[in-house]
Chain A
Amino acid sequence: MVFSSPVFLFLFLPLTLICNLILSLQKNIKLNNICLLFFSIIFYAYGSLTFLPILLISIVINYILSIFVDKCDDKKQKKIFFIVAIALNVLMLFVYKYLNLFSGFILGKDNATNIILPIGISFYTFQVISYQVDVYRGEVRYCDNIIDFALFAMLFAQLIAGPIVRYKTIERELKSRTVTFESFSYGIQRFMIGFAKKIVFANALGKVSDLAFASLNEHQLGKLFTVIVVICYSIQIYLDFSAYSDMAIGIGKMLGFNFDENFNLPFIAKSITEFWKRWHISLSSFFRDYVYIPLGGSRKGLFRTCINLTIVFVLSGFWHGASFNFLFWGLYNAFFIVIERLINTKHKIYVFETIRVIYVFVVWNIGMILFRLETIDEVKLLVDGFINGPSFNMWSREVLSTIINPYFIVIFILSIIYITPFFKNVKDYLYKFRYGYIAVDLVVVILFIYAIFEMLTTGYNPFIYFRF
């Protein structure tokens, strides 16, 4: 089930909210958690029934292992339980996500194992790994109730596309939470913004980039349109993923959970290093806390720091997808981060902020080519079209008429503005006035209704981050 589907919006969400409201009023947190877990299982089963038993078994095993990790006094034994827990999760991720790739690579054929990637496995695995590590480190106690643990691991709000929620973030809310009218209202606003962002903006941009990339074999895009299409894709990814995070955070608020923010205007970053602190924050902080720092972080000299950064970004790249282009994408990001680290360590170079922002935008967008195109041949076709193709022309009438279209142009311009702080500033400015909130809410509700119209009238509604 996806958030931007009618079954979720008109059936699943109202039912869940009503049940949650009734049980919250009765202050029966245990029953409330069972109820939310039940809905989460339905939510997951609707999209991936075959993987559900494995997910549930994994939850039980992780729960038991975490008790051993926590309660074991013997350090050696504790470590063994911990390693087993981590190994099991990594193995599950490897089998379901990467075995196909590696066996295909070794055997030289596509889809060698026929294993279908279960939705949300990357988010689920990382969430559970973070829990095991935190328990092992003694930062949190093991969860004393398997229902609470299962709810933490598979709460539908963040199960499929994140953010990666740490146990410590919602530990208290699993035991006791309150939904105030204000937080419920804020959750609604956040959900509606995410919903509209996804359906009205991300999908419109995605339509163009999908069309253009799909026709690469037949049509060169030319210089101008290569740039437009790559920017479309780059912003689509941002809007799509941040929309999902908005909806997850909004649903969380409506249910009484407070998830951390996952995006913070990444396109205003002045370096790639800063970009990654603003983009998919829950993933970046996962790698920082559970990979980078344990590897030594920046404490073991410049060379080792650079190696550690490279390892982190290679892993991060691979986390995003089970194909080698993601590996190159990770290396590509690592390259710039290492260069920035070297420059910042040895020299202090002053560059205008605007130029730095443009630098980040250009580097990120070029990286998106590696992110999107799975084969070297496709990359070559795109680059060839950019270098040798015409400046302002392109061949595909289908792509062109989708771009040279007043509706798309408006969406594109608004999306470009959206990645800047402009709308946030306007919102904050309006909030100073008496009817500011109503004005903002009115716009949000109109966009939300239009997004529903769009959802009900268009079949085109994929969710990019499901691949991960």
Chain B
Amino acid sequence: MKKPNKLENIILVLSFVVVLLFPYITALYNHFNQNDNKEKLSGSEEKVEFSFKNLDDYVIQNFPNREQIIKTKNQLLYSLFDISPNANITKIGDNLFSTETLNYYLHNLYDVEDKDVDELVEKFQIFNNFCKEHNKKMAIILTPCKPRYYSGEFPLVDNLITIYDKDYDKKDLISDADGNVTVDNVKLQKKIRPYNVLKNKLKETDIKFFDSIEYIDNNKGLILDGVPPLFYNSGHHWSLYKGNKIGLAFHQYLRENLGIKAPKLSIKASPSDTAIYPDSDLFDVLNIYDKPDEKFYESVVTFENFDTSNLNYLVQGGSFLGSLLIPQMTVNPFGDIVHIENKSMFYDKYRELVTFDSYEEADAKYSLLKRCKDTDVFVFEIHELNVYNATFGFLDFLIEHMGEI
């Protein structure tokens, strides 16, 4: 065996030196070329402040051209192995899912007890009674998760998932339409999903609620068939167009059950060159150079009449809520609308957006309670995977301050 010659050693040493000097060279290059790193990453991360304790994290976060490095590595994994480079996203075939959502939905993992749901419904009942007494209206909308409509697409992994009962038929692992899981195992005692429990409890009350899951099941042709799909391969949320469609049904429900008039409008899907946020939100956080390989559509709204109630709205919920509010968001024919999503709030007809740490802070700084007092219609969105924490503490806040509303 021959020894490495000088040239071979030089090549290796030079490669090493170049790699070690890479951050300095690129930082200098960026500095002198005013290169402000045009590549931006999707998804947020907590900013690491400089300190000796966090030095490694700080260096990583501020590494020159880190964005390109992340995208290059992610693209490699995505292209070579056909996998999601982001652990929070699972790629099954061409379809992307939030890993947490997938795990939860398929295995009913969230620790929500029936009594938790009872407690939630009780609180809604208290606030509903309050609304009735104060000439206000309240409604709830239940929204679905993506895996519910793609449960047949996970053969490899899900066929291997256990099953302690030897006679268990693997296909039964995936819940039926009511969310029942028939695995006889202590870890899977909950046979009914929190969503089903909530729905049944709500039915026992006089609270008005619109179950979009049931609506979709009853209108499969309208919602599940045709383009665009209910959920894009690259998105976590329902597609803007189909969400709008369901939004129209929701407003129809409000008209019929609470007497709230809304403008009559029709929606058409029109092809779009790019995805309209949040249609490709999962794909975006893969942070790769590729673009999503599917056709996106935008909603083209036509108003047929403006027969509306001049009411103030307060809507609170998660990220599925946006596309449901099509009349409010497009022409805003109502009074004011306050839209609260976790710890952020739009008001003044979507002209203002603020964030806060607590509802108390939102009240002190942005007069939240005054806005609640002026509200005529309260709408709460509950996503089926977020039943227990559905209102992010907002309902408790409202109940606590009912005297001030």
A6 and B164 contacting across the interface, CB-CB below 8 Å: no
Bound Cα distance from A455 to B22, whole angstroms: 15
A400 and B157 contacting across the interface, CB-CB below 8 Å: yes
State how many angstroms separate the Cβ of A69 from the closest Cβ of chain B.
39
A456 and B66 contacting across the interface, CB-CB below 8 Å: yes
A14 and B187 contacting across the interface, CB-CB below 8 Å: no
Bound Cα distance from A389 to B162, whole angstroms: 9
A405 sits at the interface (CB 8 A): yes
Bound Cα distance from A390 to B102, whole angstroms: 23
A7 and B59 contacting across the interface, CB-CB below 8 Å: yes
B57 CB contacts on chain A under 8 angstroms: 459
CB interface residues, B 313-348, toward A, < 8 Å: none
Select A394's contact among B55, B81, B161, beta carbons within 8 Å: B161
Bound Cα distance from A413 to B81, whole angstroms: 14
> For the side of the interface on A, what is the size category?
35 or more
**Closest chain B residue, CB of each to CB of A398:** B103
CB interface residues, B 6-55, toward A, < 8 Å: 6, 8-9, 11-13, 15-16, 19-21, 23, 52, 55
A407 and B81 contacting across the interface, CB-CB below 8 Å: yes
CB interface residues, A 430-448, toward B, < 8 Å: 431-432, 436-438, 441, 444-445, 448
A449 sits at the interface (CB 8 A): yes
CB interface residues, B 35-92, toward A, < 8 Å: 52, 55-57, 59-60, 63, 66, 69-70, 72-74, 76-77, 81-83, 90
> For the side of the interface on B, what is the size category?
35 or more
Select A400's contact among B12, B55, B99, B160, beta carbons within 8 Å: B160
A6 CB contacts on chain B under 8 angstroms: 56, 59-60, 63
A455 CB contacts on chain B under 8 angstroms: 60
Main secondary structure of the interface of A (DSSP, over half): helix
State how many angstroms separate the Cβ of B20 from the closest Cβ of chain A.
5
Bound Cα distance from A222 to B168, whole angstroms: 15
CB interface residues, A 396-417, toward B, < 8 Å: 396-398, 400-401, 404-407, 410
A219 sits at the interface (CB 8 A): yes
B107 sits at the interface (CB 8 A): yes
The contact string, 1 if C-beta is below 8 Å from chain B, for chain A 383-401, is: 0000001101111111011
State how many angstroms separate the Cβ of B85 from the closest Cβ of chain A.
8
B162 and A390 contacting across the interface, CB-CB below 8 Å: yes
A436 CB contacts on chain B under 8 angstroms: 2
A452 sits at the interface (CB 8 A): yes
Bound Cα distance from A75 to B334, whole angstroms: 101
A178 sits at the interface (CB 8 A): no
Closest 9 interchain pairs by CB?
A185-B9, A393-B162, A453-B73, A406-B81, A437-B8, A437-B4, A407-B81, A6-B59, A395-B162
A-B contact pairs, 14 of them (CB 8 A): A6-B59, A6-B60, A10-B59, A188-B13, A188-B16, A393-B162, A395-B163, A401-B99, A405-B81, A410-B81, A431-B1, A432-B1, A441-B12, A445-B19
Binding site for A on B (CB under 8 A): 1-6, 8-9, 11-13, 15-16, 19-21, 23, 52, 55-57, 59-60, 63, 66, 69-70, 72-74, 76-77, 81-83, 90, 99, 102-103, 106-107, 156-158, 160-164, 166, 187
